[in-house]
Every structure is written in structure tokens, then in C-alpha cells.
């Protein structure tokens, strides 16, 4: 498996999925100027602001996390100095969708 430059995040992104009844999903797409942005990083932070995980977006600009029920923050870092933070609530059997304009 390839990793992103400078971190252990897998490169390639994921295909967005429908909710599986027994999991809570946080997923989204990072775009710039209407086009998917590959090579951005999505970081998952718990409700205390602690780092939990990171993934790199692939050609489709997508990312996905499987999380426990509750409040989370997704921090997206992209080229040109972009950083954005998004509060989300994960719930079993549901998908929290984010559309990030970088």
C-alpha cells in the first residue's frame, strides 16, 4: 500500500458508500474549483480534539472514517495552505456527509 508523502496515510481515497446498518460512517469529498482534489488529508479528531486517524484523498477527492457514535471533528488540510474544520455527529446506521470546498 502506498503512503502519502510525510505521513502514514494511505493514498488512493475510497469509493463513497451507503450506510451499513451496524456502523457509523463519516465521509466526504474535497473539491477545488469544482474538481475533486487528490492529495488532501482528512484527519479525524475526537470530542477532546485528540488525533484519531488520517487518510489522504485520491483521484475522486474522497475520504471515509468508521467511528463510534458521538461528536467528532474532521480537519482537512490541502495545498495552497487550506485548512478547514468540520464538526460532525456519527450515528450507527447513518452516514455523516461532508462537502469540503478547498
Burial 18-37 (b: 16+ CB within 10 A, else e): eeeeeebbbbbbbbbeeebb
Q: What is the pTM of this model?
A: 0.81
Which residue segments constitute the domains of the chain, with CATH numbers given? 24-101 (2.60.40.10)
Is pLDDT larger for residue 97 or for residue 19?
97
**Which residue matches cell numbers 477527492?**
61
Q: Is the pLDDT of residue 11 over 70?
A: no
- Average pLDDT, rounded, for the chain: 86
Q: What phi and psi, each to the nearest 5 degrees, are found at residue 70? A: 135, -170
Is pLDDT larger for residue 1 or for residue 9?
9
pLDDT class of 12 with cuts at 50, 70, 90: low
Mean pLDDT of 11-28: 70
- pLDDT confidence of residue 16: 58
Helix (DSSP H) and strand (DSSP E) numbers for the chain: 0, 8
Amino acid at each position: 500500500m502506498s503512503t502519502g508523502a510525510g505521513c502514514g496515510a494511505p493514498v488512493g481515497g475510497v469509493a463513497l458508500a451507503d450506510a451499513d446498518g451496524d456502523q457509523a460512517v463519516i465521509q466526504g469529498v474535497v473539491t477545488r474549483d469544482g474538481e475533486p482534489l487528490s492529495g488532501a488529508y482528512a484527519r479525524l479528531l475526537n470530542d477532546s480534539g485528540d488525533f484519531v486517524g488520517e487518510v489522504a484523498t485520491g483521484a475522486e477527492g474522497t475520504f471515509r472514517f468508521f467511528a463510534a457514535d458521538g461528536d467528532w471533528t474532521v480537519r482537512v488540510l490541502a495545498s495552497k495552505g487550506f485548512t478547514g474544520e468540520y464538526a460532525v455527529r456519527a450515528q450507527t446506521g447513518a452516514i455523516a456527509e461532508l462537502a469540503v470546498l478547498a
